[in-house]
A and B are shown apart, each in its own frame.
Chain A
Amino acid sequence: MRHSMTRLGTKAALLAGAAMIAGAAAAQEQGGTLTVGISQMPPQPDPVVTTFGINWMTAAVVCEGLFAVDNSWTPQPMLAESFEYSDDGTLLTITLRDGLTFQSGEPLTSADVVASLERFRAAAGIGASFAAVTESISAPDDMTVEIQLTGPTPIVPGLLAGTQAVIMSASSIGDASATEALSGLDCTGPYTLTDYRADQGVTLTRWEDYQPREEESSGEAGMKHAWADEIMLRLMPEPSVRRDSLVTGEIDVAMELPTDFYEQLESAPGVQPVIVANNQSLTAVFNTQEGVMADVNLRRAIYHALEMEPIMLASVGNPEFYEIDGSWIPDPNSFWYTTAGIDEFGQPDPAKVEEYLAASDYNGEPIRWLVASEQYQKHFLTAVTVAQQLGDYGINVEIQENPMANYIQMRADPTQMDAFSSFLPTYIDPTSIAYLNPTYPGFWTDPEKMELMAQLAETIDPDERKAIFEEVHALAYDQFPFIKYGTEANMYGVREGVEGYTTTAVGGYTFYNYAPPAE
C-alpha cells in the first residue's frame, strides 16, 4: 500500500523540474558563494574511517570514486573510463580516464587507485564487503587497475560507488591505516578543501582544473557543474537556528530540518521547503541468535500485531511525510524495489497474533528494546507506540534508552539486547544491506537466506538477481528478523534563487550542482 507522500512527492518533483528547467533556461553562470547550514560534522573530513554517512559530506563534494550512483541507484563510471570482466568473471579490469590530475597537481594513476582501495578494503562497513569479494588489487600499468575477485560477482561497481571508496592520491594517504583519519583530502573532485575547522565549518573552493564528465547529471553521476565559486558548510546543530538563518538569508540551504517546520517555510518569504521523498525506512531489528526474540513465532506474532500508521505518525508527526510501504528498498526508483512476500502491510491481524503466540514459547518475558537517545523522535517514539500496541496482546516490551555510544556497544552483544530501533536507507546493491549481513547486530544466519545471499553475490544477470532478492525479501517477510514500519521523507530548505538542488534520496550532498542565488 502506498499513499500519503504522493502529494508532496509530486510537488517536490515539480519543484525539482522547475529548478532544473530554470537552471537550463537561464544558462547558469558560475559565481557566488553557496552557504549551507549543516547539523553535524566529524573532527576530520576523511570518509574512510567511519560508516556514519552523515560524516561523508565534505568528501562527497571534494572527492570522486571509480564509480558513482545515478538517480536510479545504478553505478555509473566516474573516474573509470571503462570496465570489463574476464570470461570466467573473476577478474575485473578497470581503465582510468586519461589526463586526470589530483587537486595537488599529481596525475591520477592506477597506483593511487590501488592505495585508496587497499585502505578501503580494511575499512568497516562496505569496505568489509569489498574485502570479502576481492583477493587482490593490482596496477599492471599506469591507467589500468585489476581487481582479482574471489569468484564471479557483479557487485563490485556498486561497492565502489560509495563515498568511502573515493580515490585519493597515494602520497596523501602515505601509510595511514583505515582507522587513522587524514586531516586533508587530495582528490579529483570539483572543489578543493581550503579550510576545515572541526565544530565550525568547511570552506570548499572551486577547482578550476576540474575535468567533468560529459554525460548529463544524474544523482551523483555524470557532469558536475561546480556553479558556486565557494561552498561554505556552516555547522549549526540546532535545527531552529538553521531555519532562522535561512529565513534571514545568512545561509542558502538548511539541511535536515524537522518536518514540523514545513508550514513555516512555506509561508516565509524568500525560502521554500524541499521534500526528499522515500528517504529511508524506519525499522526494528530483532536478535535472532539468542534470547526471547530468537523464537520465529514470536517475531511473526509481533509483526501481525502492529498497525504501522500510528507508529509512523508518532515518529514523523505529519502524514504528508511518510508512506506505509513494506519494501526493504525505500526508493521506488531503485531497480531493486520490491514488495515480494508482502500481503496486507501495515494492518494488524489479531487472529494470526493469537495463532503465532500459541505456537511460540513466549511467556510474557520482557523484550529488551534498545533505543539511541540521540534519535529520540525517530526511535523512542516509534518504540513507545510499538510497546503500547504489543501490550494489548500481553507482549511485554522494556524500552532501554541509551546514549549512542552505549547503544552501539550493547546491540553488538547478543546477550544484552532482544531488539533495537533503527533505520535503513536505499542501498545500491542488496548484498550491501547491513541487516542481511550475518555479523550485523540481529545476526540473521538462516541457512536458506545465507544460500540465497551467496547466489545473489555470484549471479551476473540482473533479472535473475532481482528474482533471487525477491526470494530473500519474501523470506524476511516470513521470518521477520527485522520489521519495517514505513518510509519517511527528509526535508531541507533553500533560499529563493538557489537552483539545481536535488529532490532525490540519492545524491543528498551534490552541492556542486547547486547554483547560489544571484547577488
Chain B
Amino acid sequence: MGTILEIQHVSKFFGGLAANSDVSFSLEEGMIMGLIGPNGAGKTTLFNCITGYYPPSRGDVIFKGQKINGLEPDRVCRLGMVRTWQKVRPLAKLSVVDNVMVGALCRTNSLKTARELAMEQLKVVRLDNKPNFLAGGLPIGERKKLEVARALATQPQLLLLDEVMGGLNPAESDEIIQLILDIKKRGGITQMVIEHDMKAIMRISDRIVVINSGEKLAEGTPQEIVNNPEVVRAYLGDFHA
C-alpha cells in the first residue's frame, strides 16, 4: 500500500486571511480519510487547492508521486482525482444518464461505451431506474447520488466527497454511507470525505484529520479523535473539555 496523496505544508491566503495555513497530511491507497472541522474551518478551500481550482499560496500537493499544484482541474481529473460539490452542480437540462456520460467521456471518445459506463455507475448509486429524467428535476437526495455517480464515471483513483450527506434525511444518509463503504470494499478507489455528521464520519473513516481556523488541529483514528481534548474544545468550547 503506497501513498496516493501527500499534502505538504499547504497554505492558501485570500488577501490577509489565511484560509489554510501549513496543512500537511497524507493518504494511503484504499483508505477513507475523514476531514472534519467547524464551519468556515477551510475544508472546502483545501479541496479546491488539491483539485486545482485555486493554486495553493504555499506548499505542495503531490498525487501519485507527481506535483500537481498549478494544474487545471481538468488535468487533475484526467490524472485520476475527482471531487464532488458541497452545493450540488447537476447539469440541469441534461438527463441523468447524460450527466454521468459527461464524466465517462473523460476516458473514452465513444458515446456507446460512455453510455454503458454511465449505466454501470447509475446502478452503483441506485439511480438506474430513472436514467432519462432531467437532472434539474431530481430531489436533493438523488442529486447527491448523481454527483457521486458522475464523479465515479471518470474512473478516479482518488475520490473527494464534499458533504455528500448534507441536507439528507437519516435514511438517505445511511444509503450514502453504505455507498461509500461499498466503493471501499470494491477496491481501487481511495476516498477523502468532508462531513459534518459525526456519527457517519466516525463509522466510515479509517483516519480523520481535524481542521480548525485553517490549521490542522489533530489527526488520528476515529477513536483517538473523539478522545482528543483539543478537538472537543474546538467543537464544544472550553466548558466541556
Q: Do A and B bind each other?
A: no
Q: Interface residues, chain B, CB within 8 Å of chain A? A: none
